[in-house]
Amino acid sequence: MPITVQTLSDAVARSHARIERLEDQLNAADALLGDGDTGSMLARVIEKMAATDLSATSDIGAAFNALARAIMSATGSSLGTLLATGLLALAKATKGRSELPWIELSGLIGQAIEAMRIRGGASLGDKTILDALQSVAQSLAGITNASAAADVANAAASGARAALEHFKPLPCKIGRARLFPEKSTGAHDPGMLALALLLERSDLPESSAACLLKTVP
Ligand SMILES: [Mg+2]
């Protein structure tokens, strides 16, 4: 099965079902370094995305565009703006397509990262959500059109988690957090943590997500 608008709707619905229970943990991760609102912001953003009716279109680009607009209507935060920027890049790249083979996903994420890098000014290695997305794109590079949906989901989840663990002991090099390297060293970047937890396989035992949450200092 290729990627369709329904695939996007399903992904948003899964995130929506999960974000409420992650909100406090993500706020706590952000409070170590910033204003403690990442969880609440993402909950608001995902609520708006979930309320966006994508059923009227089969154009994947139009669907990405509608989701980006939903984000922008919900927040002006830097992470939210970055996410919208990524989705707008995906919208442009997929305009007019009603089906995307899975093998295109890794390259598409790469295009989103590039747009986000230009918009936000972060470089790969700065310990931001870009590093997590890059790791996801690398994991997905092994996917073929014959891969099962579960393989795709597992690859994405393991990519995000690998980045989270790799960067945990490193200091954040951008934004307010860069001013306090002693606070970010040993802590998860809230955006990377959000991606890892949202992609965590829901069919894994609950203890898996709980274990990841416990790593929040
Ligand atoms: Mg914040």
List of domains in the chain: 5-201 (1.25.40.340)
Q: Provide the β-strand partners of residue 100.
A: 3
**C-alpha 59 to ligand 1 mean position (Å):** 33
**C-alpha 160 to ligand 1 mean position (Å):** 20
Each of the 217 residues of the chain gets a pLDDT tens digit; together they read 899 999 999 999 999 999 999 999 999 999 998 899 999 999 999 999 999 999 999 999 999 999 999 999 999 999 999 999 999 999 999 999 999 999 999 999 999 999 999 999 999 999 999 999 999 999 999 999 888 889 999 999 999 999 999 999 999 999 888 888 999 999 999 999 999 999 998 655 444 555 555 444 4
**C-alpha 80 to ligand 1 mean position (Å):** 10
**C-alpha 34 to ligand 1 mean position (Å):** 5
Q: What is the pLDDT of residue 213?
A: 53
Buried b (16+ CB within 10 A) or exposed e, 103-112: bbbbebbbbb
The pTM (predicted TM-score) of the whole model is: 0.92
The answer to whether residues 123 and 178 touch, using CB atoms and an 8 Å cutoff, is no
Cite the DSSP H helix spans in the chain. Answer: 5-31, 38-50, 60-74, 78-94, 105-120, 129-140, 149-167, 181-184, 190-199, 206-214
Q: For residue 109, what are the contacts with CB-CB under 8 A and spacing of at least 6?
A: 133, 136, 137, 140
What is the residue whose two structure tokens read 């997305």?
133
**C-alpha 176 to ligand 1 mean position (Å):** 10
